[in-house]
Amino acid sequence: MAARDTLNLKMKTTAHLALDAASVRGVTYADARVVAIRNRSLTTKNGRVGHASESESLGIGVRVIADGAWGFAASADLSRVAVEAAAARAVEIARASALVKREDVRLAPEPAAVAEWTTPFKVDPFTTSVEQNLDLLLKVDAEMRAVPGVTLAETGMNFQREESWFLSSEGARIHQTKYSTGAGYTAYAFAGSEIQKRSYPNSFGGQWQNRGYELIEEMKLVENARRVAEEAVALHQAAQCPEGVATIILDGSQLGLQIHESIGHPIELDRVLGMEANFAGTSFLTLEKLGNLRYGSELVNVVADARQEHGPGLGTFAYDDEGVAAQSTPIITNGRFTGYLSSRETAHTIGSARSGGTLRAEGWNRLPMIRMTNVSILPGEKPLSLEQLIAATDDGIYMETNKSWSIDDKRYNFQFGCEIAWEIKNGKRVRMLKNPSYSGITTEFWNSMDAICSRDEWTLWGTPNCGKGQPQQVVGTGHGASPARFRNIRVGSAYS
């Protein structure tokens, strides 16, 4: 039997063992997730390898409801004794939870799925050689450092394979294997009293998707390195972004982060219900706003879509981490607020008979919680390229690539900084601007959107570093977006 098959069998057997151990202790519900994660992480800095590592992590998380309350215990030790002890501990913890409860946990019904699913990919990234990976990164590094004025060049590449078995006391038996791949780079230029930088294809380590090595091959990393480095140096000669009120156009990657912060987080139903009040915060989207709030202009259409049809985003899967099938939920429909991200426990609070299928955990040792899947703005229906949008703008600022991001704990007031901008006059980019920033109030901002580019400008971006929960969990989310235009936006206040 191959090593992979042996591991697969061990994982499934272990999950069964945990379920059996929990069941005999009088629980009303139990599930077990056995997860094996493999990761490769490579970076370079100024012509040398910065970091080279691989990691493996294997363990089980057991989640139960006893006395109407939740308990969770996780163990890296998959021996029979340790797994049974983890299950017993989860039950003990649930009974302790029940000492401070107001009502019993209610789970929305879900058919018990029996399924097998793997991320579609062309090239398993772990079959590529480290030499090949480093050779590409060092080529990019050399291109950046060939530009005079570049003081620091950094590149990075990451692969992850996550195999999981999910079994529940309701009969679910789900085996999933997810791959994710990411790569990108940044050129820095320090001169005088300024540090400027440019990243490609995005900040946060570049672009990330649930795909194989083919993503790396498609990104044209080497081809763009010199231009990006030249822009980092040129920013030192650029004018400061003005302070005032302006029309702005955001590139797709920045719009993706704007969606993440000012739509993706406030629609998390656990935040709305106060479950994150101590850490990540709550949400301005209180329950009475569902179906009633004018979130954005008529052009704003947003979905939360975990299905493969939406694309290979970091929020794409077949089943979430409590066995609910991937779905597409309309979040904003022609500007009106129409949906939350929900789970089996929270669905009833919005009158829904079924979970929206968004519960995910960072790994075997963490409790799954409501997370963004792929929260994407749909592209404009009429053909419109970025260059056509700029040509149709008399006076504005086009901003590209996120540099800083911040939003309050109810998700009203935000401020973003970008790496670079260009002033637009009479439909043309007339000069480069440095240190661009914009700020506003979420609903006012989305209601000011008056144009969005069409499908050929739309990219499903990956945000690999979304933090939430206590203990904090970091997971990846997807955000499809194309460039869009917003009117009467406050700009430049970051430097005011």
Contact 361, 321 (CB under 8 A): yes
- In angstroms, the CA 169 to CA 149 distance is 61
Maximum pairwise Cα distance, the chain: 74
Query: Is residue 435 near other proteins by the rule CB under 8 A?
Result: yes
Nearer to other proteins, 468 or 485 (CB): 468
- In angstroms, the CA 368 to CA 320 distance is 9
Residues 157-176 that bind other proteins (CB under 8 A): none
166, 185, 188, 446: which one binds other proteins (CB under 8 A)? 188
Nearer to other proteins, 69 or 375 (CB): 69
Main-chain dihedrals φ then ψ at residue 253, nearest 5 degrees: -65, -40
Kindly tell me the burial class for residue 14, based on how many C-beta atoms sit within 10 Å of its own C-beta (0-12, 13-18, 19 or more).
buried
Contacts with 252 (C-beta within 8 Å, 6 or more apart), sequence order: 453, 457, 458, 459, 461, 481, 482, 483
Query: Is residue 104 near other proteins by the rule CB under 8 A?
Result: no
What is the three-class DSSP state of 452?
strand
Query: Is residue 131 near other proteins by the rule CB under 8 A?
Result: yes
Query: Is residue 365 near other proteins by the rule CB under 8 A?
Result: yes
Q: Is the dihedral of CA 275, 29, 477, 457 positive or negative?
A: negative
Tokens of 253: 């990657």
Nearer to other proteins, 151 or 224 (CB): 151
What is the three-class DSSP state of 78?
coil
Look at residues 490, 340, 323 and name the one whose alpha carbon lies nearest to residue 414: 490
Q: How far apart are the first and last CA of the chain?
A: 66
Stretch binding other proteins (CB under 8 A), from 74-82, 169-177, 304-312, 349-357: 74-82
What is the three-class DSSP state of 232?
helix
Query: Is residue 330 near other proteins by the rule CB under 8 A?
Result: no
Query: Is residue 495 near other proteins by the rule CB under 8 A?
Result: yes
Residues 109-128 that bind other proteins (CB under 8 A): none
18, 31, 32, 43: which one binds other proteins (CB under 8 A)? 43
Query: Is residue 367 near other proteins by the rule CB under 8 A?
Result: yes
76, 239, 391, 392: which one binds other proteins (CB under 8 A)? 76
31, 141, 154, 362: which one binds other proteins (CB under 8 A)? 154
28, 224, 388, 415: which one binds other proteins (CB under 8 A)? 415
Q: Where are any strands of DSSP class E within 393-472?
A: 395-407, 413-425, 428-434, 437-441, 449-452, 459-468
How near is the Cβ of 328 to other proteins at its closest, in Å? 28
How near is the Cβ of 277 to other proteins at its closest, in Å? 4
13, 23, 28, 57: which one binds other proteins (CB under 8 A)? 57
Cα atoms in the 13 Å half-sphere on the side-chain side of 250: 29
50, 149, 330, 427: which one binds other proteins (CB under 8 A)? 50
Query: Is residue 333 near other proteins by the rule CB under 8 A?
Result: no
Here's the x/- map for other proteins, 445-474, by CB under 8 A: it reads as: -------------------------xx---
Query: Is residue 96 near other proteins by the rule CB under 8 A?
Result: yes
Query: Is residue 49 near other proteins by the rule CB under 8 A?
Result: yes
Stretch binding other proteins (CB under 8 A), from 94-102, 292-300, 325-333, 475-483: 94-102
- In angstroms, the CA 365 to CA 172 distance is 20
17, 32, 35, 69: which one binds other proteins (CB under 8 A)? 69
Query: Is residue 55 near other proteins by the rule CB under 8 A?
Result: yes
